[in-house]
Amino acid sequence: MEELILKLKQEIIEVLNLEDIKPEDIDNDAPLFGEGLGLDSIDALELIVLMEKNYGIKLQDPAKGKEIFKSINVMADYIQKNRTR
């Protein structure tokens, strides 16, 4: 799980172009949206694309993203349980 979390953080930094942020700066339990990383709805779309492209997870209901993208830990847990690649 630790390995997946680190990989996920690196992918998020790259895909969202978070230039000044390092993986260790992202708190595993901090909210990704609003407070914490301060991501927005366009970032949510980018994360949906990332999940499908890198882990084969297609979110049928985009509204579920709010729950899944709650924090790095929640996201990594969802990927672990649902990934197809």
Which residues sit at the interface with other proteins, rule CB under 8 A? Answer: 15-20, 38, 42, 45-46, 49, 52-53
Q: What is the largest CA-CA distance in the chain?
A: 33
Q: How far is the CB of 73 from other proteins (least distance, A)?
A: 23
Given the complex with other proteins, which of 53 and 64 has the nearer CB atom?
Answer: 53
Q: How far is the CB of 22 from other proteins (least distance, A)?
A: 13
> What are the CA-CA distances from residue 22 to residues 12, 67, 79 (Å)?
10, 24, 21
How far is the C-alpha of 33 from the C-alpha of 71, rounded, in Å?
Answer: 8
Please name which of 56, 58, 72 lies closest in space to residue 7, comparing C-alpha atoms. Answer: 72
Given the complex with other proteins, which of 37 and 76 has the nearer CB atom?
Answer: 37
Q: How far is the CB of 38 from other proteins (least distance, A)?
A: 7
